[in-house]
């Protein structure tokens, strides 16, 4: 058979094809093995009985694995999800596999300030304590879209939403101290810069860029939050989970999505590997008292000078108060 002028019945060509396939499979296996051994696993056995932990976006990807790990440790887990249908299935699955029935599901759409306020009111009304708040939910939208609150969708869901939620729950976290806030950011923040004049853009030729900006904002927010919470015994840290095979890549447009699918499936880590640093920061004794830091693979990592710029973080905070519509009656941090 002749394909593109190459005679596939030739034994030399057949041998070359076999060698190429074996080399490719070996390379993929080695890379996957490297991803496995280079992943920072949290092997600690810390129990979390009696603790209350909120995990946003817990119905899939890294959030589902985080919820499972925390439920295994005996905590009361509040899965804060926008999709109650998949949320219910995942909730039941987690309760069954972990033998922890103290896993509950609550509605939270982080792109809606109304939903965030309703969720927070419900938590404050029903939960006497909150030990850990894990800001895990995230979206990477590739089409420019504004939310009902007139905020760009990536920034609303990934930054302004968690900013507002943190304010509304801060008194409960303070009351339950020592308590922790964990923010799932991303190393991809390095692809963005934080233009404070365009933190809520009215248009964009590359909407996906605002995913990176929102992850940059996650880091500046966490560092400023930690400074403002000094002396309260509420710690705030952020992390990069690794490059993970999860739903976050679903909106990458054609034709970029085709090679990306292969890369994500072939080389990226699993969600179970991706949750390790979140779980570590949520419960490890090793990080007791540690605040305002950035982690990857369960170890502290350095940030760019831009991300640690205090004046920039302060300005971002003031702008976030405006775009998250923080009210005079809301708790101040």
Q: Is 60 in the site for ligand NAP (CB under 6 A)?
A: yes
Contact 306, 193 (CB under 8 A): yes
Q: Is 237 in the site for ligand NAP (CB under 6 A)?
A: no
Q: What angle do CA 264, 31, 182 make, to 5 degrees?
A: 60
Binding piece for ligand NAP, criterion CB under 6 A, among 99-107, 241-249, 282-290, 313-321:
241-249
Query: What is the smallest separation between the CB atom of 229 and ligand NAP, expressed in angstroms?
Result: 21
Q: What angle do CA 190, 151, 217 make, to 5 degrees?
A: 25
Q: Is 273 in the site for ligand NAP (CB under 6 A)?
A: no
Binding piece for ligand NAP, criterion CB under 6 A, among 42-50, 172-180, 200-208, 237-245:
237-245
C-beta of 94 vs 243, nearer to ligand NAP: 243
What residues are labeled active site? 211
Cis peptide before 22 (omega within 30 of 0): no
Question: What is the C-alpha separation between 6 and 151, in angstroms, rounded?
Answer: 56
Q: Is 246 in the site for ligand NAP (CB under 6 A)?
A: yes
H helix count then E strand count, the chain:
11, 10
Region label for 140, one of left (φ > 0), alpha (ψ between -120 and 50) or beta (otherwise) = beta
Q: Which of 39, 54, 55, 63 binds ligand NAP (CB under 6 A)?
A: 63
The distance of Cα 253 from the centroid of its chain, to the nearest Å, equals 21
Q: Is 248 in the site for ligand NAP (CB under 6 A)?
A: yes
Question: Hey, which residues between 146 and 185 contact ligand NAP (CB under 6 A)?
Answer: 157, 184
Give the interface with ligand NAP as residue ranges (CB under 6 A).
Answer: 56-57, 59-63, 82-83, 86, 108-111, 136-139, 157, 184, 186, 240-241, 243-244, 246-248
């Amino acid at each position: 058979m002749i394909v593109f002028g190459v005679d596939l019945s030739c034994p030399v060509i057949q041998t070359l094809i076999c060698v190429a396939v074996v080399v490719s499979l070996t390379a993929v296996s080695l890379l996957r093995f490297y991803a496995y051994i280079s992943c920072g696993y949290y092997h600690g056995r810390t129990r979390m009985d009696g603790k209350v932990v909120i995990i946003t976006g817990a119905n899939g990807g890294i959030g589902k694995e985080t919820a499972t790990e925390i439920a295994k440790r005996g905590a009361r887990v509040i899965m804060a999800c926008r999709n109650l249908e998949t949320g219910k299935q995942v909730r039941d699955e987690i309760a069954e596999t972990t033998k922890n029935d103290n896993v509950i599901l609550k509605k939270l759409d982080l792109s809606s300030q109304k939903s965030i306020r309703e969720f927070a009111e419900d938590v404050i009304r029903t939960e006497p304590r909150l030990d850990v708040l894990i800001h895990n939910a995230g979206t990477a939208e590739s089409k420019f879209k504004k939310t009902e609150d007139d905020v760009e969708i990536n920034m609303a869901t990934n930054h302004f939403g968690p900013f507002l939620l943190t304010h509304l729950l801060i008194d409960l976290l303070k009351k339950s101290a020592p308590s922790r806030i964990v923010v799932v950011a991303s190393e991809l923040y390095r692809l963005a810069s934080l233009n404070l004049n365009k933190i809520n853009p009215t248009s964009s030729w590359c909407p996906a860029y605002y995913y990176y900006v929102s992850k940059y904002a996650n880091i500046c927010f966490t560092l400023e939050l930690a400074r403002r919470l000094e002396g309260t015994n509420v710690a705030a840290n952020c992390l990069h989970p690794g490059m993970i095979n999860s739903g976050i890549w679903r909106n990458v447009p054609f034709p970029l999505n085709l090679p990306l699918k292969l890369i994500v499936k072939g080389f990226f880590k699993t969600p179970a590997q991706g949750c390790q640093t979140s779980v570590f920061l949520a419960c490890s004794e090793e990080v007791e008292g540690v605040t305002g830091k950035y982690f990857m693979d369960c170890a502290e990592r350095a940030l760019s000078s831009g991300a640690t710029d205090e004046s920039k973080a302060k300005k971002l905070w003031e702008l976030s108060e405006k775009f998250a519509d923080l009210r005079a009656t809301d708790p101040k941090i």
